[in-house]
């Protein structure tokens, strides 16, 4: 995620495949979701969506 952080692109992380929240936060994830369905459920009102409309 370091490259997209430098490019000012909002990234969402998923807590699947054993990845820890701390690692995603340190890598620059703007938002962290439990799994893909959680991301989809929050897509329109989550922090990534807020960045897209700003």
For residue 27, give Cα distances in angstroms to 33, 44, 45.
14, 23, 22
Task: Write down the pTM of the prediction.
Answer: 0.66
Distance of alpha carbon 21 from alpha carbon 19, whole angstroms: 7
Instruction: Please tell me the predicted confidence (pLDDT) of residue 15.
Output: 92
**pLDDT tens series, the chain, 54 aa:** 555 555 667 788 899 888 899 999 988 888 899 998 998 888 877 666 655 444
Instruction: Please tell me the predicted confidence (pLDDT) of residue 53.
Output: 43
């Amino acid at each position: 995620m370091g490259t997209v952080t430098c490019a000012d692109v909002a990234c969402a992380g998923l807590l699947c495949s054993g990845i820890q929240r701390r690692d995603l936060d340190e890598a620059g994830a703007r938002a962290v979701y439990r799994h893909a369905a959680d991301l989809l459920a929050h897509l329109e009102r989550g922090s990534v969506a807020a960045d897209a409309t700003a």
